[in-house]
Chains A and B, each alone.
Chain A
Amino acid sequence: MIEIRHFTGGYGSKPVLNDINFDVNRGEFVGIIGPNGSGKTTLVRTIVRLVRPFGGTIHFEGKDIRHMGFKELARKVAVVSQSPPVVAMTVKEYVLLGRVPHYGKLQFFETEQDVRIAERAMALTDTLPFKDRYISETSGGEIQLALIARALTQEPSLLILDEPTAHLDITHQVSILDLMRRLNRELGLTILIVLHDLNLASEYCDRIVLMDRGRIRKTGKPEEVLNYKDIEEVYRTVVVVERNPLSLKPFVLIVPEEVKKKCER
């Protein structure tokens, strides 16, 4: 679905991404991990043409994205970023904004179908019960769900999420990723997700991309990428990698300095 070839790009004149080669296939659930500043967010922003390319190409469904309009792209790729709206609007109003890329040239108001699509997205994300509340009156977990509902209202074939679980408790983390998994398996939505939490990435992603200083260090199944050697080198932190006894996926444990010293002795 997405093919990135030799992509180099960044902000101003400073390249943030270096020679990126990376594919996402239809129906996949791909996670991007890496330390702060390694270029994860920049990588997902390049896919929606927000990063200036210095070289290389990005194709979406065989089409060069530089030749696609912003609107055309927004009908196919939806992004859930880390910024909730600050404007006083209700959840429903916010979710309906997801229809904007689908409006005709002289169309100003949503049709019944637009409202139906928005309501279906809200039903999928369990946001219907508080649809008339103002965004400022909802909790962090609810806002995240509203952001996802808006993205689904765009009816994308690729959904990009940039750390959707940051600042959430484990209940909400799991429920949001379970939802992503359901959308992926049942509706065939392709998902590209940036995650800080290595263990969440391990449990949910089909494939993981490990980034380091603007380059892709490794891609593969969770058990291939999440080994202590690669993780220690990229994150410069001592870790222990074990297996989740139920899912058999790898999970990464950190080791505090004190414990480390004790073991060395």
Chain B
Amino acid sequence: MLLAVTFLLAAGLYALSSGSAGIPVSRMPSIIREGRGSPEFSILLDIRLPRILLGFAIGGALSLAGVILQGMFRNPLVEPYTLGISGGAALGAALCIVSGINRLFPDFSMPLFGFLGAFIVVLPIYVTNMRSGSLNTDGLLLTGVMISFISSSLVTLILAISRTEHLQSIVFWIMGSLEEPSWALILIVASVSLLCLALSYLFSLDMNALSLGEEEAAHLGIDVERTKKILFLLAALLTGISVSVAGIIGFVGLVVPHFTRMITGYDHRTLLVLSFITGAGFLIFCDTLARTIVSPVELPVGVITGILGGILFVYVLGKRLRTGQTGVS
């Protein structure tokens, strides 16, 4: 726990200090004390801090959604995007750009359309798998994957027939970025993801029981159907809000939960919080790399999370296999 918090703080400070104008950590207190006016102050508080906050919220939200879904499906390969939510959001955003609505209301239209797209996709997934009051887990997964395919095909179709200037903004949106000018939106995302963390924690014991299987959980007095529904909606909300604000930032929701589980074990009472913190730190760190590594060009943060996360994960997995520990999740 301490390690994860330290990592988060270090990532935050690193993100604050680095960029095209390097500001050493030791100078930060004096800059903040001097208050508004200096260019460094506005770089720190108006450019870098919102980005860090958004990274915190989104990294945490995606990892949390990953833990919830992996626990609920008892399948280590499930991640927030498996449910088709990201596909729906991408479709919504692409439609928004092509139709030109994003130029009418530049601040809120993209997130709104993304969220609508995500919501519209989740609805049929949820409804088709609700039969006689019970949520069919395998069906949920399959329909999610299928809807993902359908919406990604539709996005490709839009890309194929849209004009060049739209093309680039769609592609950039899909690749994901923590660039977000609106403070209000950042605060909304941050509070929703923290709220979801608190709510999901109420179900930490239920998730522990569910990791034994649905039948066993029922034997332990868990109302399995109700728990599954709530968890599914929580994960959908977390994913939907992340995707609609930051685009599709891959890998965080898959790798971070795995990684944390390897270190702390199966217990969701620690896993939920720890994944949130680790995910937040990881995304802030990756975003800073994306900003600075080939500065002044900014790489899509999804590229960094994918490469870094993948390498780190394979390394840790290999190490575990060599030392003979088995049973990842």
Contact = CB atoms under 8 A, between A and B. Distances in A.
Interface of A: 48-50, 69-75, 78-79, 81, 83, 85-89, 93, 97-98, 100-101, 103, 106, 108-109, 134, 136, 154
30 contacts: A48-B218, A48-B219, A69-B221, A70-B218, A71-B221, A74-B219, A74-B220, A79-B219, A81-B216, A83-B213, A83-B216, A85-B213, A86-B74, A87-B74, A87-B212, A87-B327, A87-B329, A89-B265, A89-B266, A93-B267, A97-B220, A100-B209, A100-B221, A103-B205, A106-B202, A108-B269, A109-B269, A134-B327, A136-B326, A136-B327
A136 B205 CA distance: 22
A100 B218 CA distance: 11
B175 interface: no
B106 to A, nearest CB: 44
A129 B55 CA distance: 46
Contacts of B209: 97, 100
Contacts of B269: 108-109
Interface of B: 74, 201-202, 204-205, 208-209, 211-213, 215-216, 218-223, 265-267, 269, 326-329
Contacts of A106: 202
A88 to B, nearest CB: 4
> Which 5 pairs between the two chains have the least Cβ-Cβ distance?
A74-B221, A101-B221, A88-B327, A71-B221, A79-B219
B73 to A, nearest CB: 13
Q: Which of B201, B216, B219, B265 neighbours the largest number of chain A CB atoms within 10 Å of its CB?
A: B219
B75 to A, nearest CB: 11
A132 B30 CA distance: 52
Nearest to B208: A97
Contacts of A154: 220
B212 A97 contact: yes
Contacts of A48: 218-219
Nearest to B213: A83
